[in-house]
Structure 1
Amino acid sequence: MRKITILVLSFFIGTLAFSNVLDTTVEIPVQYESVEVKPLFPGGISEFMKFVMKNYQVPEEDEGGATGTVQVSIVIDVDGSVTQINILKDVGNAGNEIKRVLAKCPKWTPGRQKGTNVAVMYNFPITIK
């Protein structure tokens, strides 16, 4: 009888211990690279380039003339905000400044897939001259 009690008690403890693990689900949002309706910066891509150029300040460490192309990855979230700003390839210290500029970017019109707003990932170059 004692073995059965220990066995049943072990079963209930095991069920309780693992029930949280089995019931916990984390939904990872899907990020698209290609969608039916692409995200749009207010005024279009030319306005986006103007925004970046207007707000970009050459870092003090790079005033000697660092030039080249910075590769950037961003996500335009379902609400149009710019998130997950990552510098894939940097030139001098330009990446940190580009992150700062993109973080203050106004909201975009979000991308849409099958009539629903979706997060869209963009990879693009920014040339520093």
Structure 2
Amino acid sequence: MINLRYTISLFNLYICLSTIAFSQNIDTVTRNAKSSQKKLQQFEVVGGSDGPYDYVSLEKFPKYNGGTDAMNKFFSKNFHFPVGDEATSGKIIVEALIDQKGKVASAVIQEGISESLDREALRVVKSMPKWEPGVQAGKKIRVKVSIPIKLPLNTN
């Protein structure tokens, strides 16, 4: 009987301590979340700290004028398959830096198919018309975007 009471008392003590520890962890998580939220709300772009930013923390993402359909039409019209390249299908991913004015400031291949197709994809991305730039804290900023180009291109 003593052992059973002792076991129940230890179990109750364990439950109490676990509850206290859990509530302290919840308080810590809540405080950290509030702190992070406060920092995010106070974020301001100043001077030379105009990006590039990742897209997760932006107020407004860069957007190609006309949307995805217009971008696909642009690629279909301007992408020319290099003569002699045997690769005709696949996916090229281009990382482009969209500046504060909406221009493609730079572009690099993240994932390619062949040297000649990759070079053509870079040429077309660099020749794109202006985008709507990304915005953070009410100011236009530079943002890196990934642009997937799936070959063969849809010519519709």
TM-score, normalised with respect to structure 1: 0.72
Is residue 2:117 matched to residue 1:117? no
Is residue 2:87 matched to residue 1:87? no
Partner of 1:74: 96
Q: Which of the pair is proportionally richer in helix? A: 2
Which aligned pairs between 1:29-108 and structure 2 lie closer than 5 A?
29-34=50-55, 35-62=58-85, 64-92=86-114, 93-108=116-131
SS in 1 for 2:142: strand
Q: Which of the pair is proportionally richer in strand? A: 1
Partner of 1:7: none
SS in 2 for 1:52: helix
Instruction: Name the amino acid aligned to 1:85.
Output: A
Instruction: Name the amino acid aligned to 2:80.
Output: Q
TM-score, normalised with respect to structure 2: 0.60
Mark the runs of 5 or more structure 1 residues left unpaired by the alignment: 1-26
Give the CA deviation at 1:38.
1.1
Partners of 2:150 and 2:126 lie apart in 1 by: 18
Instruction: Name the amino acid aligned to 2:88.
Output: A
Partners of 2:147 and 2:67 lie apart in 1 by: 15
Instruction: Name the amino acid aligned to 1:116.
Output: K
Instruction: Name the amino acid aligned to 1:72.
Output: V
Partners of 1:66 and 1:45 lie apart in 2 by: 22
SS in 2 for 1:53: helix
Q: Greater relative contact order: 1 or 2 (C-alpha under 8 angstroms, separation 6 or more)?
A: 1
Q: Per the alignment, do residues 65 and 30 of structure 1 end up closer, same or farther by CA in structure 2, a change over 3 Å counting?
A: closer
Mark the runs of 5 or more structure 2 residues left unpaired by the alignment: 1-47
**Larger gyration radius, structure 1 or structure 2:** 2
Once superposed, which parts of structure 1, at least 4 consecutive aligned residues long, lie more than 3 Å away?
A: none
